[in-house]
Amino acid sequence: MTANHVPPDVAQRAQRARRVSPQQLADAMTRHEAFLARKPGATRANLSLVDLSQLDLSRRNLSGIDLSGAQLHRALLVHTVLRAANLFGADLRQSNLTGADLSRADLRGACLRGAILDDAILVQADLRNGSLATATTSGELKSVRYDTLPSDLICVVMRRADLSDARLGGALIVQTDLSDANLSRARLAGADLRNAVLTGAVLDGADLSGCDLGGANLQGASLTGCLWTGARLDGTDLRGAVIDPAAFGMADFSATQRNRAQRLTAEALASHLAQHRDWIESNGTKGQQLKLAEASLLGHALAGATLPAAELDFAEMTSLDLTGATLLMASLVSADLRGATLTEADLRGCRLRRGLLANANLRKARLGPVTARGGQRWTSDLEAIKASGADFAGADLTGARLAYADLRQCRFDGAILVDADLSHASLEGAVLTDAVLTNCRLTGTRGLNRR
């Protein structure tokens, strides 16, 4: 399966498409804009079965437009608004829909093979297979024969796309990049997700019944409350993923890759910490660096622990007390710190990318930059963290990278965010009273309210 392959049903539909002149298209766009503005006599644009291949329709408001069966191969639709648009059976192969809004759009039977939908919004979009009734020569619809139009999302790039509550039942989503996408409550029953990349994706409440997730990468994904009945999971990478215990009774997880979940005794952990302390104090000539990736640290007392440069990627640290801990330049990529207490912890220069920090307490935590030996400056990397409901009140986040972070309902009272990167972060419901946002990057930031 490749992005350049043309499915036979798409090729047949392309032959029926009609071309319109530039003036006809401009007139249709003008009428549609007037329709959206509710001007008297204006009509909704109907571009059904029209060939619009390779045209630039970027940044237009095409909400509610009829593009059913339209040819949009290699079209530019960057940041185009297509809310509730009819794209049933449309050919969108290799089109660029970066940042487009397709909320509630009808994309049943559409071919999106090889398209780019990074940061696109597809909330409640319908991407199920479509059924197309064929007509007799007399024009009467046949009541018994329907041609199935498979929804083709093969090799699509849709990083960070919002597909919450979308309908994707039976869709072909093979080799598609859905890194950090939001698929909360998405209906994916029977979908083919083989070899898809879902690293850091949120699938809480999704219906995965009968899905084929063979070879898919779900590292660090959030999968709470999912339905797994009949799901195929051969070779699925679930390292660092958050999964309910009940899930293991719904499907066979024996062929998946999961965390080793190394559980340490208090004595073993104390030995590791002593070795790490010697390694730090001797500049690496004695002892051993703490490397506990994928380990479970649950139940251990780590308040005030000295853990600079520790490697704790994918570690299980939910509800852990790390008050006042030193985690300077530590690596905590995709670590599970939900509900953890990190009050006044030193996290300068840390790597927390894709970390799970929902409801964590980081009051007065230090997450600013640090200058290492040789003068190299390290900023804290919190890109794409899932931190809804976390408390950052009084924290120092100077220069921190928080791009694409989920910061909904967070508290930032009095926090220092000077030079921080909040590009495309979600801040709905966040409290920023007295927060310092000087020189922040806010491109695409959602829900910013400095109350």
CA angle, 390 then 391 then 393, to 5°? 155
Please give the average per-residue pLDDT across 312-320, as a whole number.
Answer: 93
Please give the average per-residue pLDDT across 100-105, as a whole number.
Answer: 98
E strand map for 216-321: 222-223, 242-243
pTM for this entry: 0.85
- Which residues fall within 8 angstroms of residue 230, CB to CB, at 6 or more apart? 209, 210, 251
Least confident residue range of 45-59, 125-139, 156-170, 265-279: 125-139
Which residue ranges make up each domain of the chain?
Answer: 260-451
**pLDDT recorded at residue 5:** 61
Please give the average per-residue pLDDT across 188-207, as a whole number.
Answer: 96
**pLDDT recorded at residue 230:** 95
pLDDT tens across 252-273, in order?
Answer: 999 998 875 667 888 999 999 9
* Token pair for 389: 């409901």
* Token pair for 195: 């070899």
Comparison of pLDDT for 130 and 92, the residue scoring more: 92
Please give the average per-residue pLDDT across 145-157, as a whole number.
Answer: 78
Q: Does the pLDDT of residue 139 top 90, yes or no?
A: no
What confidence category does residue 63 fall into, taking pLDDT thresholds of 50, 70 and 90? very high
* Token pair for 346: 């030193």
Closest CA to 36 of 61, 57, 59, 56: 61
Is residue 426 a contact partner of residue 446, using CB atoms and an 8 Å limit?
A: yes
Please give the average per-residue pLDDT across 113-133, as a whole number.
Answer: 90
Is residue 307 a contact partner of residue 287, using CB atoms and an 8 Å limit?
A: no
Please give the average per-residue pLDDT across 154-170, as a whole number.
Answer: 96
Assign domain 260-451 to its CATH superfamily.
E3 ubiquitin-protein ligase SopA (2.160.20.80)
Q: Does the pLDDT of residue 144 top 50, yes or no?
A: no
**pLDDT recorded at residue 54:** 95
- Which residues fall within 8 angstroms of residue 447, CB to CB, at 6 or more apart? 408, 426, 427, 428, 429, 430
